[in-house]
Amino acid sequence: MADTTQILGIFDHGAKAADGARAILDGGLGDVVAYSPVPDHAIDQALHVGVSPVRLFVLIGGLLGCATGFLFPIYTVLDWPLITGGKPLISIPPFVVIAFELTILFGALGGMASFLWLAGLPRVTGQPAPDDRFTNDMYGISVTCLPEDADAVRATLERHGANEVKG
């Protein structure tokens, strides 16, 4: 990857940035990373962003929580059998409450952990984004391309209305 170069196009509108990104990808000019102050569906479509796998981890967490919520109380009552209130040791109805809460807790924790992992967070070193304005009001299209394509990339970004092109 040593022989690639980075070019950054800065746009004032999401639709323009999406068009620019689509043109780069359609032309096979390089890889694109898009930055935006808000989630932008036009950019998502241009970059073919699919369904997030976070949902799988929420499901796994939830199922694990539900199982824990039943199995753990059952284990504890068998570990030290102590009848209270004349109720059976393994009383499913009260354990449903524990299972319900743990389903939600583990589902949420699973979702949060997978989000951080998939989104590459926390990112401790280096500059968060190549330009501070991407959290404010500007959109960025960062293109990783071969040096010989750099001029074509710059021209494409400018043609699609980039306010600035860097690199």
Partner 1 sequence: MSFAKIDDDILRTLRAPGPMWYGGMLLALSAALVGLFAFLYQARTGLGVAGYEHPILWGIYITDFVFWVGIAHSGTLISAVLFLFRARWRTAVARAAEAMTVFAVMTAGLFPIIHIGRPWFFYWLIPYPNERQLWVNFRSPLVWDLFAISTYLTVSAMFLYLGLMPDIAAARDRVKDWRQPIYKVLALGWRGTSRQWQHHAALYGFFAALATPLVVSVHSVVSWDFAVAILPGWHSTIFAPYFVAGAIFSGIAMVITLLLPLRRIFKLERYITVHHFENLAKLMLTTSLIVSYAYLTEFFVAWYSGNPFEQGTFYDRMFGQYWGYSWMMFTCNVILPLLLFVKSFRTNLKALFVLSIFVNIGMWLERYVIIVSSLSHDFDPANWAGVYQPTWVEAAITIGSFGLFFTLFLLFIKNFPALSITEMKETMDRKAEADPAASWPEPV
- The footprint of partner 1 (CB under 8 A) covers 14, 33-40, 43-44, 47, 49, 51-52, 54-55, 58, 72-73, 76-77, 79-80, 82, 84-85, 87, 91, 94-95, 97-98, 100-102, 104-105, 107-109, 111-112, 114-116, 118-124, 126, 128-129, 132-137
Question: Quick one: 2 or 45, whose CB is closer to partner 1?
Answer: 45
Rounded-to-integer distance, Cα 20 and Cα 11, Å: 9
Give the three-state DSSP class for 123.
Answer: coil
Rounded-to-integer distance, Cα 161 and Cα 115, Å: 33
Distance of CA 138 to CAs 20, 40, 147, 165, Å? 14, 12, 26, 13
CB of 120 to partner 1, least distance (A): 7
Question: Quick one: 99 or 150, whose CB is closer to partner 1?
Answer: 99
Q: Which residue has the tokens 């096979």?
A: 28
CB of 1 to partner 1, least distance (A): 18
